[in-house]
A and B are shown apart, each in its own frame.
Chain A
């Protein structure tokens, strides 16, 4: 089976042949399997946003290839959610806003209705506010309506650029839980960029770390976040719990160094303290 997303020697150069020439993606080779949940991290300017825009053809490779499901023609396969997608809401009601995309696909009324309703339910927007103006909603709700608009296009692959920036902790958790639900129950392939290392550690199957346009790491969160010093060196911060675990081990407490979440740490520490 072909990979959901595969890049072969992908390179992108901005302002080629001018004095502002800048190589933002440098020979990227990554593979995302169907149904995988992947997080991309890297500091500002590392090439993350450029990379994901090549996934639906908004940015074309200067060299190399992007294959979606093994093919090179693919814009309708990938739904891209930009940063602050709520700034793109424009319709009079929540329902109409989500309807806009599928209507422009020329689908029949029944199909449009089905898609709009499914998408809104999927992101957890209650039916009683479907006829409200999107501008009266909270920040987290607006963002979910915007994501519903992308889901209504039935993408096989959902790509999100910092979907939780500016959301409060509850909004952050809700959004991640919904993405996880879609990933687990509907088998949608999800790729997201995040600056929240805690969330990446908690939810994704695979982490891709970009630095200066190159892939620095591509592995499970457990493996990637082992590299505490290296990540710090490139402007990233591993979850705080990693520091606690590291210090505890340095002080002779025998617990697994691969622990990634506070919950796992509490279980391990409790077990250690009760059994020594």
Chain B
């Protein structure tokens, strides 16, 4: 297991001008979750369901009020462990412009790995490899300024890969990108997962991006509301809509046809499967 979380509770407090608590929001409510090494996990949930709060626990940005959290065999309640965990669990945030620190692409990618105290020669190698992996080698000597959102996110990812992490968390990293940028980042995630075995935890509002996951967890009110493979999760069209989520067009089309008296397999996800099912129906 890369992550073992048990009974995690995290509360936010709203205070008035005098500093007295006027509202308590339970962002995580005794949440228990295991994530396997090498897994591609997608976390879905409406705004305020606790997704980002949860993700920010995995590398110690936030601390639970109670419960235990073991990441990469290290107990995160011990202060010393937080820095060790961060070397192995990287995070890509939503806004590409907030994550770039250097004025040249390759310097930006080198920033994290330099701070690990890796020998100079190896840094060179790791930076080159990381840029190759995200398909940005041609931009090595460019300024990050003129890059598109998708390209900037890939630079941020390269900076993490250079640190050779076991796990990368994407906290709505595709939210600000155009369709092409979204696809670039999704393709990169899939490569990292399938080719390099890196555990991926992806938080998103785009249901389509969850289709390639090994497992989806749906969060609502700080708890896991539903979990399973994409096929198992998305067939619950009504339930998902009732908590403010959506399903891919493919699943929704099949759902509407079944409402109209047809009897298609409700777990269909892919365009090809839909077309085959409709063409072969009698």
Contact = CB atoms under 8 A, between A and B. Distances in A.
B90 to A, nearest CB: 21
A251 B180 contact: no
A262 B178 contact: no
B48 interface: yes
Given A168-B46, A266-B260, A247 B275 contact: yes
Interface stretch (B129-137, B221-229, B250-258): B250-258
Interface string B243-282: 0111011101100110010100000000110110011010
Contact of A195 (B178, B244, B262): B178
B75 interface: no
B253 A166 contact: no
Contacts of B274: 244
A167 B205 contact: yes
A88 to B, nearest CB: 15
B69 to A, nearest CB: 26
Contacts of B14: 133, 136
Given A169-B244, A240-B208, A244-B250, A197 B179 contact: yes
Interface residues of A, number: 40
Nearest to A266: B256
A261 to B, nearest CB: 9
Contacts of A136: 14, 23
Contacts of A253: 278-279
A231 B46 CA distance: 30
Contact of B205 (A42, A45, A168, A273): A168
B149 A44 contact: yes
A273 B179 contact: no
Contacts of B253: 241, 244, 262, 265-266, 269
Interface residues of B, number: 42
B94 A166 contact: yes
Nearest to A141: B47
A247 B271 contact: yes
Interface in A75-119: none
Interface of A is mostly: helix
A59 interface: no
Nearest to A237: B179
A247 B270 CA distance: 12
Given A139-B47, A243-B271, A251-B279, A166 B176 contact: yes
A251 B277 CA distance: 12
A269 B47 contact: no
B172 interface: yes
Contact of B47 (A43, A168, A197): A168
Nearest to A44: B148
A241 B47 contact: no
B181 interface: yes
A171 B245 CA distance: 9
Nearest to B183: A237
A197 B177 CA distance: 13
B3 interface: no
Interface string B146-167: 0011100000000000000000
A198 to B, nearest CB: 7
Interface in A111-138: 133, 136, 138
Interface string A252-276: 1100000000110110011001000
B207 interface: yes
Closest 5 CB pairs of A and B: A170-B244, A235-B180, A266-B256, A169-B246, A237-B179
13 contacts: A43-B180, A44-B148, A44-B178, A138-B48, A139-B47, A166-B94, A166-B176, A169-B245, A171-B244, A172-B205, A195-B178, A244-B253, A248-B279
Interface of A: 42-45, 133, 136, 138-140, 165-172, 195, 197-198, 235-237, 239-241, 243-244, 247-248, 251-253, 262-263, 265-266, 269-270, 273
